[in-house]
Amino acid sequence: MVEILGSTRHVSEGTGVRGVEVLRSLLREWDAVVLYRRESKAVQERRRLADSRGEEEPEDLNDNEIHIPRVIDLLKAVWPFVLGTIDWVCPMLKKFLQQLRASVAPTSIAIGNSSADIDSSFSALIVALAASRGYLPWYSAQTMPVLSIPRADFALRSDVQKILSKIEVGPEDLFFSNDESVEKALPASDLLLVDHNQLTPELALHSHNVRVIIDHHAETGMYQHPLTYKRIERVGSTCTLLAETLTDEMLAATAPDVPFLLSAAILTDTDNFSSVTKKATPLDEKQYGRLLALLKSCGRPFESFGITYDDILHARADVRGCTTEQKLRSDLKEIADPRAGVAVVHCAVRDFISDDPHFASNIAAFCLQKSYHFLVLMFPYNDDGAVRRDGAFFGPPTFVQQLSEYIFQKPVEAAPISGLNADITVGPSQWALRCFQIRNLAISRKQMQPWLLEFLQLPHVKAQFVGASSL
Ligand SMILES: [Mn+2]
């Protein structure tokens, strides 16, 4: 097999009689020919110019499309075994990740929060790419994007997987917190935190390496040392802040991959710009509109990726066949002191419990294995298109009682759900499960977490955990 590497323009310039002769002579020597389409620099430049002036794309730019069938016909005329052509465009982000893997150790790591959700994963990928290409005015270095979960847990992020598969990025291209290359690079790397502003307990020993923070969560006020760049703004998505940082030229140069991922993240994080959950800000809307227009102008409108907001929701809620432990791990954030988890599960609490006949012992086993003192559960889900939220607290009975009283004073508009609460005894430990409906739909984990930390700072609560963190 031999490839002719060149643009179709090059080949199609000879579509006259002489072209047939040239092809005949080539085919006498070679077994097969692979043609691929590539735009010439001149065509790319004209398209860019038209875009920057806001003009319609010149019609003759689509010449390449016409040439392809013409060239196939020509080939068929001289050689009957032409099967077709491969329209090959190298997926940009995949190539970046592969080059990174092959290169010498990077000097920086971009890392999202421990939920490794769409926003965290994509903002880590995009900040790493932008920093590596010199696109960020305030930071430039070869940067490795890391998903802050063990590699095995990626199977549980079906929404992230599904979107990345549209630009041909698979788990083999990604870096995870328990990869050897990551563990090796961590101690000597600058850390760029995206979608969180406090390292997980496991990474806290690298705090002095934090250089950059880009986030949309409540500020924890960690890291008093001077940072190279910090931006914390309460918008719907970290990807909105990243989109704003990148110029039109940068987005065009990384299209369609980067604008596609950014827009998918903003769409998901704002619950499709829901007026009920009220997560979107004017900045989210502005950047989302800009990204969609950009995708369209480079010939890859969002629709062309074959994934809708509903597809993303379905992928995310597809927890069939998952164990209780896997569901708990699928979108989990941790509190360091006292050790605790705040898990998001995308189904109704009633289904979560009834799906597992050994639910009580499994949730207790999960907390014991993680050394959690308690677990907070958030259940956002869709019921016939309507957004719903449930919540649950799991922990020592007195603690759960105090926590419920404290949180229910906040504007969560909690309503108890009868028949699901339970008292559970596993060995020497006593646990209580309290389930409730969250009628204020604007309350997500992002709002809940600061209230939890506030509660844990109360003197009579704090006293319960003195010395407990060594458990
Ligand atoms: Mn986020």
For residue 242, report the distance from its CA to the centre of ligand 1, in Å: 12
For residue 108, report the distance from its CA to the centre of ligand 1, in Å: 21
**CA pair distance 370, 431, nearest whole angstrom:** 15
pLDDT for 70 equals 60
For residue 195, report the distance from its CA to the centre of ligand 1, in Å: 5
Closest-CA residue to 200 (of 109, 114, 329): 114
Please give the CATH superfamily to which domain 321-470 belongs: DHHA2 domain (3.10.310.20)
pLDDT for 14 equals 37
For residue 291, report the distance from its CA to the centre of ligand 1, in Å: 18
| 93-314 and 321-470 in the same fold | no
Segment holding 50, helix H or strand E: helix 41-52
pLDDT for 79 equals 60
For residue 347, report the distance from its CA to the centre of ligand 1, in Å: 20
Residues ≥6 apart with Cβ < 8 Å to 313:
159, 382
Answer for the pair 317, 347: CB distance below 8 angstroms, yes or no.
yes
For residue 199, report the distance from its CA to the centre of ligand 1, in Å: 15
For residue 227, report the distance from its CA to the centre of ligand 1, in Å: 21
For residue 252, report the distance from its CA to the centre of ligand 1, in Å: 24
Helices H / strands E in the chain, number of each = 19, 14
Answer for the pair 105, 185: CB distance below 8 angstroms, yes or no.
yes
For residue 165, report the distance from its CA to the centre of ligand 1, in Å: 21
pLDDT for 3 equals 37
pLDDT for 88 equals 46
For residue 386, report the distance from its CA to the centre of ligand 1, in Å: 22
**Single-letter amino acid code for the residue at 411:** P
For residue 254, report the distance from its CA to the centre of ligand 1, in Å: 22
In the chain, where the domains are located: 2-78, 93-314, 321-470
Does residue 374 sit in helix, strand or coil?
strand
Q: Got the DSSP string for 128-197?
A: HHHHHTT--TT--S-EEEEBSS-GGGGGG-HHHHHHHHTTT--GGG--BTT-HHHHHHGGGSEEEEES-S
Q: What's the whole-model pTM score? A: 0.74
Per-block average pLDDT, block size 10, for the chain (471 residues)? 36 44 60 51 73 71 49 63 51 92 88 96 98 96 96 91 95 96 94 96 94 96 94 97 97 95 97 93 98 94 95 84 89 90 94 92 94 96 89 96 96 92 87 96 93 94 70 40
For residue 121, report the distance from its CA to the centre of ligand 1, in Å: 9
For residue 73, report the distance from its CA to the centre of ligand 1, in Å: 51
For residue 441, report the distance from its CA to the centre of ligand 1, in Å: 17
pLDDT for 471 equals 40
For residue 449, report the distance from its CA to the centre of ligand 1, in Å: 13
**CA pair distance 122, 265, nearest whole angstrom:** 7
Backbone angles phi, psi at 298, to 5 degrees: -100, 20
Q: Is the peptide bond before 338 cis (omega within 30 degrees of 0)?
A: yes
Whether domain 93-314 has CATH 1.10.10.10: the reply is no
**Single-letter amino acid code for the residue at 461:** V
Does residue 373 sit in helix, strand or coil?
coil
For residue 388, report the distance from its CA to the centre of ligand 1, in Å: 19
pLDDT tens-digit map of 71-115: 666 666 666 555 554 444 458 999 999 999 988 778 899 999 999
pLDDT for 57 equals 64
pLDDT for 270 equals 96
For residue 293, report the distance from its CA to the centre of ligand 1, in Å: 23
For residue 27, report the distance from its CA to the centre of ligand 1, in Å: 55
